[in-house]
Amino acid sequence: MTTAVPPTPRTGDLTHDFNWGQVSPQLTQAALATSTVEPQINPSLGPLALLANTTFRGNGFNTIFRPHKPGTPSGLPVTPDPATNRDDNILELNITEEILEFSSALGSVPNRGFLQDDIFFNGVPYIQRVKDVTDPSHPVDIHFEPGIWLSVPATTNPVEGATVVRMASIPHGTTIEAQGTSFTVPTPQINPVDITPFFLPPGNGPQSFPSQTFDNNATFRLPQDLSTTRITKTMLQDPNSVLTDRIQQQLQDQAITSTIVITIETNAVNPLPGGQPDAALVGGGTDNIAFLKGTAGGPNAEAVAMSAIFWIETVKDQITVPALQPGESVTLPGTDTAGDGLVPSFTFTATNAFAGGAKNVSFTQVQYTQRVHLNFAPLGWPHISVANLIPADPIPVTI
């Protein structure tokens, strides 16, 4: 028996016919004999190994304060009272659906050293696509991001252990280079995150707005009336609750057996709130087009910093499989412990006759929280994005 699974749209493996390597050095046999550098054929992907050549799908929540100008009306159903509502910004909230697609590994990427010997690292290109589904009848594509994740080995100049790098291009006009580290824990610890803007420079105190009040339906916010959406008061106060709610519900019937944690910053020396300073990671940063940076009067909306935490979790499940004859396959959904329909599928294929019964399986779940700081008006405005992601394709299991 075989059951059909709707395909997930994707771009394909961008590196299926590509394997990076270095140009062969033209050295004498004597020079080759004394060389201390040995190129690696396949440098380790480190914490990225579970992501390579895999497509994830899922849902999440996005919050962004963006500039608001009378010349670009927002079409709000209720006009906010100007006496109690500052009109230079609007808070946009999005329930999201996402596809995060990773290609296969790049291979051995050579980087030439001057202060130390050459290093060779590996990487995984990716494409991220995010859709706003706050109104399910009118979905809107709101984010497209091509980029590369890199696994960088330890270095001597700077003196740094193995690191992970995310290089991203955002069509609004910003490129991001964020670097950090990874570690493994049994289960994730996900702390709350606050969307409240702050006076510049950072540390000069928060500045909240009426749009952050859940039941205030006459503010500069999209959508204004949240009672008709899936957005909750808890989500508005702490977007990371979208992540914690899912794993708390999952753990009732499933088990997260291992978690790889990746933390990255565009400025690890001076990280965003919640980050740990790393004096050796002197690289990274953001670049913005001229429109975003602006001139007199401050920026239009400059992305000045980004931080993110990714949790790559191995989740156990148990599925009852019907009787199968040799060579037969059946595709079955996992357990919907979170109650949101976001469950992976498993394709069971019998090599011998299977009488039917419970089978233990596992899958990779990705959760992330990301903070981008935008400057305009002149405040710092947190732009928070979170998502829960599972494998888009059925996971093969041989029984």
Residue 125: band (very low, low, confident or very high) from pLDDT cuts 50, 70, 90: very high
Higher pLDDT, 399 or 15: 399
- DSSP 3-state of 293: helix
Residue 307: band (very low, low, confident or very high) from pLDDT cuts 50, 70, 90: very high
**What per-residue confidence (pLDDT) applies to 3?**
42
List pLDDT tens digits, range 234-276: 999 999 999 999 998 877 777 899 999 999 999 988 888 778 8
Region label for 107, one of left (φ > 0), alpha (ψ between -120 and 50) or beta (otherwise): left
In the predicted model, what is the mean pLDDT of residues 53-82? 88
Domains for the chain: give ranges and CATH numbers.
40-316+368-389 (2.40.128.20)
Higher pLDDT, 109 or 346: 346
Distances (CA, A) of 210 to 215, 224, 307, 383, 385: 10, 11, 26, 17, 21
